[in-house]
Amino acid sequence: MVLPSLAVPSQMETKLAMSRLAETKDFSADSFSPGLEKAIGCYDAPVQELIVIDDLLSALVGIEGRYISIKRVHGNDDDVTFQVDASMDLALQELAKRIFPLCKSFLLIHQFVESRSQFKNGLVNHAFAAALRALLLDYQAMVAQLEHQFLLGRLSIQGLWFYCQPMMGSMQALSTVIHKASTSNFVGSAVLNLLQSHAKAVAGDNAVRLLLEKMTQCASSAYLGILERWVYEGVIDDPYGEFFIAENKSLQKESLTQDHDAKYWGQRYSLKDGIPSFLANAAGTILTTGKYLNVMRECGHNVQVPVSENSKLMSFSTNHHYLECIKAAYDFASGELLNLIKDKYDLVGKLRSIKHYFLLDQGDFLVHFMDIAREELAKRLDEISVEKLQSLLDLALRTTAAAADPCHEDLTCCVERASLLKKLGTLKDLDISRTVSDSNDLEEPVSLNGLETFSLSYKVQWPLSIVISRKSLTKYQLIFRFLFHCKHVNRQLCGAWQVHQGVRALNTRGTSISRSSLLCRSMLKFINSLLHYLTFEVLEPNWHVMHNRLQTAKSIDEVIQFHDFFLEKCLRECLLLLPELLKKVEKLKSLCLQYAAATQWLISSSTVIPKPEAPSDGSRGFEKFKQGKLRDPSQPLKLITGNASVTDPILKFEREFNAELQSLGPILSNRSQAEPYLTHLAQWILGVGNEQQVPISVPFYSDL
């Protein structure tokens, strides 16, 4: 910095004043005490001016002079005042006081630099202090030039004030920032936000604004280094905890397959308070980018975002180039992870496999399983052997078309400890627990058997567990249990229908058997209509919608969103989130099962069956009776008419079933306004607007 020439005193005045100034300096160091120093008022005005300039040059770098002292308030180092000798010329006092704010700013900045350079204050404060130290070096160089001019006799106090003015605004602005940072003990992003907010506040002063922007750039360099490692490598290199992304190491990826309420994906990495303002709009993108890179690293798939010189995040500017680099890193990480999960881990294939088993897309294995596991499933809950059921399930899988599925070995079975209704009420998921728990009249069965509690499970490995989590599998299990029980009711009614077919040769018109046959047809129509609605009207269309959306998904979060929406929609449309309707359907299914169980007695009580030999096993005899093998064809069946013990139960079943079915109509009609899909259910079950007959036997639907 070169100082321009100033108007200076004459040579004689300067020599005289300098000689007198030299006389005033003929004191030892001990004589600098105010009590021993001669009052400045004892000197002539030119000498006073030189003394004041000399003291001011010392004060500018934080050193006390003979007639200018520095006072600090005890316990508050930021509160600094400068005092002058009261005998000083008033004009000199006024000029000196104008320069004191610059002296104070230097002291505050210097003190901040020394304190914030310590290890504990973080990388941002270290970088900020380094930038301030470089500024102070320039400032001290300016003071040294002024002192050189003073020694040459070319500096007056007006000239000193003239040279100090350009630095005054900048130093005061910095001291204001530093005071706030020190008072609030700011670190990390708080320092950057403070600098940036002050830069915007002084937009009218171009020099100060540029200085504060430069300080922000310097202070943010270390912070951007942390950011660069996160978005390019997925690594949090943050020794002082300054970064706005926190890692919760207590949340492990294994919890996704074990805990229904696992928080790994949402809270393993999360945003903290105090995001830098220039990154606020991109904070979510930054968080997600690093998460995706971490998933790939957890899979052993080492990947790093390609970095060029233009993509370095070492500074930010008004052209928002750093935001473009962040967006490019996100696009790369998102695409790589999506391809990894779709291609290497075959997400869609795994979902299709789950659909085969849990949504009964290919039900041949289940039909075989229900046949060979009939006795075990009929046992009480505490008598069931899960190991035996698992071996029977494996047998069914190996001997049916399911053996062609490469994922069939991941399928396991389990037995729940609660009924479907109770399970729905205990889930913490808001939409489920709220709707079910609000219905206080749901009845829990007195005793449960395997047919009511049997369920499937599925082994899902990382990283597919991000999408198919324990929570998602629980929703699949709820749908499966509902479908499985409906299929069980269907099979029981089909057995009852076969019993009726065993006596079809008789003239049953006007008898209790005829009435029972009509009731059996009505029940079969109901359960098959329900199964048709659940499979063809709900599960299959929603699956195809989800499948098409997955093909267009651009990130794993979109995949999770589409999959969760599919499950939520299926749960609702399958009535599992509508307790009033679910209770009616469960009551109707219960009546169907009671009727099917009573059919053997009802038919046998209405006919006289010639018995050439008495079978020792009643159940086997009933099976032969259903197949028409027990009686001698030459000895025809005979009807027993007027048996009230047979007619009354049939009429009771008929009244209760019709009453429950009719009460379902108004409920469906009222709810269909808010839930339009219930219109289809009403059409299938009640025949509303649809007179088409439903076939007696509805097979499991195949993969369309």
Task: For the chain, list the domains and their CATH numbers.
Answer: 11-185 (no CATH), 214-344 (no CATH), 348-686 (1.20.120.1900)
User: What per-residue confidence (pLDDT) applies to 417?
Assistant: 87
Residue 585 has what pLDDT? 92
The least confident of 64-73, 650-659, 667-676 is 667-676
Determine the pLDDT at residue 77: 61
Place of tokens 């006092």: 93
**Is residue 117 very low, low, confident or very high in pLDDT (cuts 50, 70, 90)?**
confident
In percent, the amount of the chain with pLDDT more than 70 equals 79
| pLDDT of 590 over the 60 cut | yes
Which tens digits make up the pLDDT trace of 254-271? Answer: 888 888 788 889 899 999
Mean pLDDT of 342-368: 90
Lowest mean pLDDT among 5-9, 121-125, 650-654: 5-9
Specify the pLDDT at position 157: 92
Lowest mean pLDDT among 172-186, 490-504, 631-645: 631-645
pLDDT at position 316 is 65
Question: Quick one: pLDDT at residue 471?
Answer: 92
User: Rounded to an integer, what distance in angstroms lies between the CA atom of residue 663 and that of residue 681?
Assistant: 14
Summarised one tens digit per residue, pLDDT across range 74-84 is 656 667 889 89
Band (317; pLDDT cuts 50, 70, 90): low
Could you tell me which residue, 85 or 320, shows the higher pLDDT?
A: 85
Residue 51: predicted pLDDT: 93
Q: What is the pLDDT of residue 310?
A: 60
Least confident of 148-162, 514-528, 608-622: 608-622
Q: Are 606 and 639 in contact (CB under 8 A)?
A: yes
How does residue 91 score in pLDDT terms, banded at 50, 70 and 90? very high
Euclidean distance between CA atoms 207 and 199, whole angstroms: 10
pLDDT (tens digit per residue) in 383-426: 999 999 999 999 999 988 888 888 888 999 999 988 888 888 88
Exposed, middle or buried: residue 206 (CB in 10 Å: 0-12, 13-18, 19+)? exposed
Question: Confidence class of residue 433 from pLDDT cuts 50, 70 and 90?
Answer: very low
- Quickly state the pLDDT bin for 507 (edges 50, 70, 90): low
Average pLDDT over residues 16-37: 45
Sorting pLDDT into bands at 50, 70 and 90, what band is 10? very low
End-to-end CA distance of the chain: 82
Read off the pLDDT band of 630 (50, 70, 90). very low
Mean pLDDT of the residues in the chain:
81
Let me know: does 419 contact 453? Beta carbons within 8 Å: yes
- How far apart are the C-alpha atoms of 178 and 216, rounded to whole Å? 13
Q: Which residues of 223-247 are buried (b: 16+ CB within 10 A; e: fewer)?
A: bbbbbbbbbbbbebebebebbbbee
Q: What is the pLDDT of residue 602?
A: 72
- pLDDT the model gives residue 36: 45
Distance CA 466, CA 292 (A): 11
Cα–Cα distance for residue pair 44/62, rounded to 1 Å: 27
Token pair for residue 155? Answer: 């500096």
Structure confidence at residue 644 (pLDDT) = 61
pLDDT in tens, 295-306: 998 888 877 777
The pLDDT of residue 17 is: 47
Average pLDDT, integer, range 127-131: 94
Region 143-161: mean pLDDT is 93
Task: Among 312-316, 593-597, 641-645, name the most confident range.
Answer: 593-597
pLDDT at 149: 93
134 with 69: CB under 8 angstroms? no
**Enclosing H/E stretch for 291:** helix 283-298
Section 443-470 average pLDDT: 86
Q: What is the mean pLDDT of residues 113-138?
A: 91
Which range in 196-200, 438-442, 604-608, 673-677 is most confidently predicted, on average pLDDT? 196-200
Give residue 358's pLDDT band: very low, low, confident or very high (50, 70, 90). Answer: very high
Residues 640 and 233: their CA atoms lie apart, in Å, by: 84
Ranking 286-290, 593-597, 614-618 by mean pLDDT, the lowest is 614-618
pLDDT of residue 204: 85
Residue 509 pLDDT class (50, 70, 90 cuts): low
Confidence check: pLDDT of 616 > 60: no
Identify the band that residue 174 occupies on the pLDDT scale cut at 50, 70 and 90.
very high
**Which pLDDT band, with edges at 50, 70 and 90, does 701 fall under?**
very low
pLDDT of residue 75: 58
For residue 502, pLDDT over 80 is answered with no
Does the pLDDT at position 559 exceed 60? Answer: yes
Specify the pTM: 0.80
What is the 3-class SS of 525-553, one letter each residue? HHHHHHHHHHHHHHHHHHHHHHHHHHHHC
DSSP for 681-693 reads HHHHHH-TT--PP
Choose between 643 and 435: higher pLDDT: 643
Q: Is residue 313 predicted with pLDDT exceeding 90?
A: no
